[in-house]
Amino acid sequence: MAVLESGENYLEAILMASNVKKDVHAIDIVNMLNFSKPSVSVMLKKLRDDGYIEIDDNQHLHLTKKGLAIAKKIYERHKILTKILIAIGVDEDVAEDDACKIEHDLCDETFEAIKNYYNSKMKND
């Protein structure tokens, strides 16, 4: 079953939080995404049931192999799209928000073309 955009946001948030702190809890996702505790609990249960995350006895969130693959993919898209938008003159905060909207809708072929173009431009500048 494919994970929906909202699920991708949760997986990305778990990855980002785990880059900053050792133990990630649901409250960290509540604070990062600015969602209610009940909404986060429902989505985390769904992601766990679908095999994207594991929740240990201490309520720490862990990405499974397939959850990590999706989180890394979305996070890479977010970072590159944000950099591109900033490079063309978009305000940093707006670029972050817009990158989050765009990252989910691009097909792999389009994103790879954008990434390759960006990388070639960065090497030549």
Give tens-digit pLDDT for 3-16. 677 889 999 999 99
pLDDT at 9: 92
The domain defined by 74-124 folds into: Diphtheria Toxin Repressor; domain 2 (1.10.60)
DSSP label at residue 4: P
CATH topology for the 5-69 domain: Arc Repressor Mutant, subunit A (1.10.10)
Reported pTM: 0.85
Q: What's the mean pLDDT in 78-104? A: 93
Query: Is residue 24 pLDDT above 70, yes or no?
Result: yes
pLDDT of residue 45: 96
> Over the Cα atoms of the chain, what is R_g?
16
The tokens 């992601």 sit on which residue?
A: 47
Task: Return the domain boundaries, the chain.
Answer: 5-69, 74-124
